[in-house]
Structure 1
Amino acid sequence: MFNEDVLDFIKIKEELASHCSSIIAKEMALALEPMTNREKIQEALDETAEALRSWQTEIEQPLGGTRDIRESCKKSRKDFVLSREAIWDVYITIGAYKRMVKFFRAKYMEYPLLSLWMQDMPNMDRVEQRLKRVFDEKGELLDTASPKLASLRNTISKTRDRIKHDIQAILHDKDNQKYFQEAIITQRNNRYVIPVKQEYRQYFDGLIHDRSATGQTLYIEPMRLVELNNDLQEALIGEEQEVLRIYKELSALIKQHSNDLMDACEKVSHIEFVYGKAKLAIAQKAVQATLSEGRDVNLMRARHPLIPANTVVPTDIRLGTDYRILLITGSNTGGKTVSLKTLGLLSLMNQSGLFIPAEHGSILPIFHNIFADIGDEQSIEASLSTFSAHMTQVISIIKHCGPNDLVLLDELGSGTDPEEGSALAVSILEFFRQKGTLMMVSTHYNELKNYAYHTAGIENGHVEFDERTLKPTYRLHIGVAGSSHALSIAARLGLPKDIVNRARDYKSKFGSSEMENVLTDLNEQLRKSSERERALKKELDETRRMRGQLEREKKQFNEKRKQMLAKAQADAESMKRSLRVEGEAIIKQLKAQFSEINKDKRLSAINAARKGISNVHVPEAPVNDDRKTLSIDAVAIGQVVYVTSLRSLGTVLSIKGNRVTVDINGLSATVKVNELQSTTREESNKIQRDNLKAQPKTRKKAGGSAVQRQKEVRTEINILGQTVDEAVVSVGRFIDQALLGGINQVRIIHGKGTGALREGVHQYLRTLPQVAHFETAGYDEGGAGATNVVLK
């Protein structure tokens, strides 16, 4: 049992319905009921979370277009002929259904729960394609809906044109113009007529169809148009019959698929209903609550969803861990009832799969029942706000409640003698305490405050009252009872001062002033403590915000650095490719321009150049954030530096003004001095060792016969383990070297494997003009694992 009416849950459902995009989804919202099954509640909340994530991240949403086709499907099953509008609604709904299926099948990993609703959906292509041939984009029946309809509408159009032509001839005949009231074409009884003046009736041959209100005009069908009008009427009747036949045919088609259509409509509407819950969460700035494993309540900065956002005061409500009954005291109109309703209403929303207006981390249990007796002017009629009415409600709750229920009682024991009311209220609280029921109770009785102080499992709380402004702040504080502040509120409302002062005197005589003073002092201390806590929380939130901002800036900096390093690497690779292309061009010119004279020397130079080009690379220094940018005074010739723009280490060759020439692995580059950074000792030593190794060694003079030189050139290359791209580069360089060495037959060892490497090499060989032909090697030469190549 859930006291939805008392807690105004219907208003939440109405607000939810306003966010739903279809009639059926709105009906689902209004019929929403709280659940008690944990798995179903969690699934409903997780569905809402998926819809919320989709609504906030997806550019196109899978919503819109769904119509209520349930009645049309039911009528089709009874062989009713559906109207054009009903059939058009089916067509529109199928389109919406297909868009939703397409969306969630593509987004299954992102929205698994919602996607499950789109699994095993029936195929509606046949119905959709038939309806698509019948209707235009505005839902009007196309002429091409059937051949007969096209013919009839063509006849209607031509006949109307002939009639209008003949009427225009009659109207513009000079001899007839004096007969006409107006030179216009009009219709009566679906037949074309001409308005003729009453006094000229006998001069105009035709059939009278109507008379004007004044009697001055007769609407006459000229005799020469009778036959054409008859033809038009016959064609219009034929059209009407053909349209009815088409609607009957389509209604029968819908009947065949009515079960699938109803099922699809229900599932699509459920998705739209879930998106309605997501949009409600956005409107209320609500979050998903965590379901308590036990019976603990921990609402943080919870807000009553029906109080305007600019006036509602967030409140914290804790219940169930150290105490199961929370007794709330404090001033009238201070927010006691709102606190009770907030817990009850948010619990109903949570168990209905709705997000709650509170902070992340809020926890709610699953209640089997929620009982509420809130009987003031905010919820029930004044005629029921009596002790009897309250007690009737409480008795019913006592009979039906259990340990897994929530009970909310407003002004327990009120409406009767205070002494008896207090005693009765204490006894009722003791009953619920022993039963283990979770409760929130509001009261003004000091006896109940005292009972809570001395009883385990019950905690005092109060709504704050600002003694300086004499106004309630509506904040709930747990741990200390509060005063009703009736005298202060009465004075603020305008009660004469002498009456208020006399009341304070009587209050002192009654002996309650001392306790009130203690409560006032405690509440003031609590107020100051709360202010300090809010200030500390504000500072903590600001610290977290700044930390988050620093983390984001650090991430952006790292991303930018990665992009800069990637660009530098790409530039270096581009320079490498340019150098290689330029070198190859020079070698080709040398080969083409020079004769056989000094062939040995040229061949040696070309091979050395090609070897140098193939070894060109830009050394990458490890990323070091401790490097310092060098000034022009800190740079010297022979110094090892790091070039930021090339992301490389090099040695300074010369300095001219603000520009420095640096040797990078045999390549010189001129850069600005602000592109140079310091290096480590290990980096400097490595570059110096590499420079020493690169110095030319003393060689013997080249000599020997051509046969000896030919042996220096390889006749076989092994490319096992290389990719196709790597193999193409290796084979191209190998063939060039063979040609320069005078070799006319070579072997490429590529292995068998999957055959992909062999096929890639063969395709490349077909593109080389210097290859005469090639073939798979013989059995004793490696067979399919090698290829013999004959060069031109």
Structure 2
Amino acid sequence: MNAKILKTLEFEKILHRLSSQAETSLGKQAAENLDPLGDFEQVKLRLQATDEAVNVERLKGNAPFGGIRDIRSALHRSSIGGMLNPAELLDISTTMFGSRRLKRFIAAVHEEYAVPMLKEQSELLTENKAVEDRINSCIDENAAVMDSASPELGRVRSELRNGEARVRERLEQIIRNPSSQKMLQDVLITIRNDRYVIPVKQEYRSSFGGMIHDQSASGATLFIEPEAVVQLNNKLRELKLKEEVEVEKILRALTELVAEHADMLLSDVEMLALLDFTFAKAGLARDMKATLPRLNDRGFIKIKRGRHPLIAADSVVPLDLELGNQYSAIIVTGPNTGGKTVSLKTVGLLSLMAMSGLFVPAEEASQLCVFDAIFADIGDEQSIEQNLSTFSSHMTNIINILRDMTPKSLVLLDELGAGTDPAEGSALAISILDYMHRMGCRMVATTHYPELKAYAYQKPGTINASMEFDVQTLSPTYRLLVGVPGRSNAFAIAERLGLSRSIIEHARGQVAEEDVRVDSMIASLEENRRVAEAERLSAEEARREADELRAKLEAQQSRFEEQRDKLLEKAEREAREAVAKARREADEVIAELRRMALEEAGGVKEHRLIDAKRRLEQAAPELRTKRAADAKSAARKRAETIEPGDEVRVVSLGQKGHVVEMASDTDALVQLGIMKMKVRLADLEKLGAAAAAKKPQMQTATIVKRSRDDNIRTELDMRGMNLEEALIEADRFLDESFLSNLGQVYLIHGKGTGVLRTGMQEYLRRHKHVKNYRMGNYNEGGNGVTVVELA
């Protein structure tokens, strides 16, 4: 692509924005060197890579490019025998790590969302973990060679640190000696020429032995190495030389290792640059709110609400344009500052972006063509040095365009035929347009000549267009109106600015009648277009609202059906589980009743029967229906009328009795034969006079007899039992104590490890007969006994 055309259309500004999106210097360099392509298949591949990167960012966020550096110069030096420094080796190590991390990131994304092109490119990245680990074992994160890089280096540095400590210790003795302090300029130790020295006043030079290494700018201070540390400093110097030799040996070994893999690393760097550049294109698309254009190679352009990417989003006016289907040329007319040039540049710049593999700032389904070349003659390039006028500069560009263009080219011409006599300029413009039309290229041209309006009407494959102008506000709207030629609006503007009406009317009389009719026709076309556009927008809005409503209703219906299916499935599952649970518990209760009947020779203790009946009732699945709710509500209403002395029936037991007293707002103490029980009011049914007089029917039932030990126990000794055995015995003991109307009992569990005590107290906390419990007092057994108060 011609560099002059790229500059004319300001493509380099797009590249600058693209470069700013890159994470590495490699990607920035690739972005700055981007050039549009004229090969349809290559452009499709570029856009595919951009589309995949956009999807990766949308799904997983930014790709990781941290640590990746441009190591090409270091790799080149290593391959020709140079020695790399620690910083260069560290950059190579971090680049290897960054390359491996990026490769795994793309592989992980590919498993969830197919990105075949990025996956294929990342697979070309090599993983030199052994080289990376070798470098990291020798070079730390501050780009310094570590002591552990080799045993010899570790030994030398250990001796070096010990030697420095001895030198400092000896110098500390000197500077802290009272006889020496008066001769020192300052009480400190410093270094000159890699040797430890102390600052001595000039006048004490002869009194202070040693070697002078430096002096201050004023000459008042001499930096002297005392004789006592000369040998120590010499030893340090020897050790430092050994350290430098060993460090160099390590760096050369690492450099040779890198040189062995230099070719693969160079290939990795090139691929990392390409991947960073691809994700930079995705970042630019996000920044511009750009979309993927549909490509073709048949010269067809359909831009839907395209925006010039270099104009602020809040001020740019979208462009709608179609070219290459019914017509191959558009002639744009209208006043200056109306936006004609911006429209030309928008068409050219969006085409260049698409041919570069970039998303374009336009609505989805916009179509762009891959041209073999784009030519533009935009702006005034007159030159005093080259003795070129405006007309000459335009003609020079047009001559070059006519020479180089092909049927697959896009030509953009601004102010065609301007800068010369109007009659000759318009005739020349028509001739140029005819030649380009016969060539078959796609063309958009702007002009002020009225003759070109008639040319566009008469020429098949050519259409008029204009930039909309609001006469009321005397300002352009910057909207391109395809199919309507432009008007100069000179009379309307002059009248609105205050020019005398008589002058305007006289001017109108000078205009040919044919021109007046054409102007009136154009005005009528503009008005009809505005009405049609308003109606179209209204229809589109109505259709959009209808589509949204339909989509919303469909979504609601789908959610309703899905929720209904889930609720039915859940209800069926819960019903199955409830029935199965009830069946299991009923079987367990029946089996236990049979076992108790056998153990007690046909008689079952009363409290065990009550507990078994309660378990059977709890085993029945609770049906959460309206009928059940109504039954509970009726039970609550019946319970509200029960008072002490009333004769009642305990629904859950089928036993009659009378209310002794109200235990609480929800419970009553009921006398059932010789036994008193606390019963919930909702489980009581008040018996009226008729019900009380009615003779009960004979029913077959299990014989229940109440047995009690002659000697009522008030304590249970559980020592020696495990927790499970203790809980069984405690349950039996508490039931017997409750039926015996005992107010307080003692559970003896001992002190031991505390497991039995903790488990028993946790059980007591939930027991229905237990009102309160506490640890025994000193005279009751202390921590080995729990005192239980029964309800």
TM range (shorter): 0.7 to 0.9
TM-superposed CA distance for 1:510, in Å, is 3.9
TM-superposed CA distance for 1:63, in Å, is 2.6
Question: 1:471 touches 1:489 (CA, 8 Å); kept in 2?
Answer: no
**One-letter code of the match for 1:465?**
F
What is the SS of the residue equivalent to 2:136? helix
Query: Are positions 1:77 and 2:79 aligned together?
Result: yes
Counterparts of 1:554 and 1:114, CA distance in 2: 39
2:520 aligns with 517
Cα shift readout 1:751-781 (whole Å, capped 9, x = no counterpart)? xxxxxxxxxxxxxxxxxxxxxxxxxxxxxxx
TM-superposed CA distance for 1:65, in Å, is 2.1
1:537 aligns with 540
Specify whether residues 484 and 239 from structure 1 end up closer, same or farther in structure 2 by C-alpha distance, changes over 3 A only. farther
1:657 aligns with 634
Question: 2:331 touches 2:456 (CA, 8 Å); kept in 1?
Answer: yes
Counterparts of 2:572 and 2:184, CA distance in 1: 92
**Matching residue within 299, 306, 316 for 1:302:** 306
TM-superposed CA distance for 1:548, in Å, is 4.6
Report the count of equivalent residues.
621
What is the SS of the residue equivalent to 2:534? helix
2:94 aligns with 92
Specify whether residues 217 and 371 from structure 1 end up closer, same or farther in structure 2 by C-alpha distance, changes over 3 A only. same
Counterparts of 2:172 and 2:566, CA distance in 1: 78
Q: After the TM superposition, which of the residue ranges 118-127 and 482-491 deviates more from structure 2?
A: 482-491
Question: 1:375 touches 1:385 (CA, 8 Å); kept in 2?
Answer: no
Question: 2:39 touches 2:372 (CA, 8 Å); kept in 1?
Answer: no
1:683 aligns with none
TM-superposed CA distance for 1:460, in Å, is 0.5
Specify whether residues 223 and 460 from structure 1 end up closer, same or farther in structure 2 by C-alpha distance, changes over 3 A only. same
Which runs of structure 2 are paired with 1:548-559 in the superposition (5 Å)? 548-551=551-554
Which runs of structure 2 are paired with 1:591-630 in the superposition (5 Å)? 593=596, 595=598
Question: 1:332 touches 1:486 (CA, 8 Å); kept in 2?
Answer: no
TM-superposed CA distance for 1:255, in Å, is 0.7
Counterparts of 1:14 and 1:378, CA distance in 2: 28
1:311 aligns with 315
Which runs of structure 2 are paired with 1:36-51 in the superposition (5 Å)? 36-51=38-53
**One-letter code of the match for 1:266?**
E
The TM-score normalised by the length of structure 2 is 0.72
Counterparts of 2:509 and 2:557, CA distance in 1: 65
TM-superposed CA distance for 1:40, in Å, is 1.7
Counterparts of 2:45 and 2:270, CA distance in 1: 18
TM-superposed CA distance for 1:294, in Å, is 2.9
TM-superposed CA distance for 1:410, in Å, is 0.7
Which runs of structure 2 are paired with 1:543-692 in the superposition (5 Å)? 543-551=546-554, 561=564, 564-565=567-568, 567-569=570-572, 571-576=574-579, 578-583=581-586, 585-586=588-589, 589=592, 593=596, 595=598, 656-657=633-634
1:223 aligns with 227
Counterparts of 2:68 and 2:13, CA distance in 1: 25
Specify whether residues 172 and 515 from structure 1 end up closer, same or farther in structure 2 by C-alpha distance, changes over 3 A only. same
2:329 aligns with 325
Cα shift readout 1:371-401 (whole Å, capped 9, x = no counterpart)? 1111238999998661111112112222222
**Matching residue within 30, 33, 58 for 2:32:** 30
Question: 1:63 touches 1:96 (CA, 8 Å); kept in 2?
Answer: yes
Question: 1:406 touches 1:439 (CA, 8 Å); kept in 2?
Answer: yes
Specify whether residues 457 and 60 from structure 1 end up closer, same or farther in structure 2 by C-alpha distance, changes over 3 A only. closer
**One-letter code of the match for 1:269?**
A
Question: 2:382 touches 2:392 (CA, 8 Å); kept in 1?
Answer: no
TM-superposed CA distance for 1:222, in Å, is 1.4
**One-letter code of the match for 2:585?**
E
2:139 aligns with 135
What is the SS of the residue equivalent to 1:461? strand
Query: Are positions 1:477 and 2:454 aligned together?
Result: no
Query: Are positions 1:103 and 2:80 aligned together?
Result: no
Specify whether residues 318 and 167 from structure 1 end up closer, same or farther in structure 2 by C-alpha distance, changes over 3 A only. same
1:292 aligns with 296
Question: 1:49 touches 1:288 (CA, 8 Å); kept in 2?
Answer: yes
Specify whether residues 518 and 473 from structure 1 end up closer, same or farther in structure 2 by C-alpha distance, changes over 3 A only. same
Counterparts of 2:558 and 2:159, CA distance in 1: 74
**Matching residue within 165, 171, 182 for 2:169:** 165
Counterparts of 2:568 and 2:389, CA distance in 1: 77
Which runs of structure 2 are paired with 1:252-401 in the superposition (5 Å)? 252-292=256-296, 294-376=298-380, 386-401=390-405
TM-superposed CA distance for 1:406, in Å, is 0.8
**One-letter code of the match for 1:185?**
I
Counterparts of 1:236 and 1:463, CA distance in 2: 79
Cα shift readout 1:519-564 (whole Å, capped 9, x = no counterpart)? 2332233234333433443444444445555555555555555555
1:207 aligns with 211
Which runs of structure 2 are paired with 1:762-781 in the superposition (5 Å)? none
Counterparts of 1:582 and 1:76, CA distance in 2: 81
Counterparts of 2:433 and 2:61, CA distance in 1: 54
**Matching residue within 3, 10, 15 for 2:17:** 15
Question: 2:24 touches 2:65 (CA, 8 Å); kept in 1?
Answer: no
2:530 aligns with 527
Counterparts of 1:536 and 1:377, CA distance in 2: 46
TM-superposed CA distance for 1:119, in Å, is 2.2
1:6 aligns with 8
Specify whether residues 153 and 576 from structure 1 end up closer, same or farther in structure 2 by C-alpha distance, changes over 3 A only. farther
Counterparts of 1:81 and 1:422, CA distance in 2: 70
**Matching residue within 390, 412, 415 for 1:411:** 415
Counterparts of 2:502 and 2:14, CA distance in 1: 45
2:55 aligns with 53
Question: 1:35 touches 1:41 (CA, 8 Å); kept in 2?
Answer: yes
2:455 aligns with 451
What is the SS of the residue equivalent to 2:267? helix
TM-superposed CA distance for 1:583, in Å, is 4.1
The TM-score normalised by the length of structure 1 is 0.72
**Matching residue within 227, 243, 252 for 1:239:** 243
TM-superposed CA distance for 1:365, in Å, is 1.6
5+ residue gaps in structure 1? 600-608, 620-642, 661-667, 669-792
**One-letter code of the match for 1:89?**
D
TM-superposed CA distance for 1:105, in Å, is 2.4
**One-letter code of the match for 1:520?**
A
Counterparts of 1:307 and 1:574, CA distance in 2: 66
What is the SS of the residue equivalent to 2:466? strand
TM-superposed CA distance for 1:565, in Å, is 4.9
What is the SS of the residue equivalent to 1:208? strand
5+ residue gaps in structure 2? 603-611, 638-651, 653-791
In percent, how many aligned pairs have the same letter? Answer: 39
Specify whether residues 487 and 72 from structure 1 end up closer, same or farther in structure 2 by C-alpha distance, changes over 3 A only. farther
Specify whether residues 352 and 463 from structure 1 end up closer, same or farther in structure 2 by C-alpha distance, changes over 3 A only. same
**One-letter code of the match for 1:196?**
V
TM-superposed CA distance for 1:594, in Å, is 6.0
Specify whether residues 38 and 514 from structure 1 end up closer, same or farther in structure 2 by C-alpha distance, changes over 3 A only. same
Considering only CA atoms, is the larger Rg found in Structure 1 or Structure 2? Answer: 2
What is the SS of the residue equivalent to 1:358? coil
Counterparts of 1:367 and 1:218, CA distance in 2: 78
Counterparts of 2:384 and 2:277, CA distance in 1: 31
**Aligned-residue RMSD, C-alpha:** 3.4
Counterparts of 1:655 and 1:211, CA distance in 2: 105
Question: 2:40 touches 2:297 (CA, 8 Å); kept in 1?
Answer: no
Counterparts of 1:27 and 1:380, CA distance in 2: 37
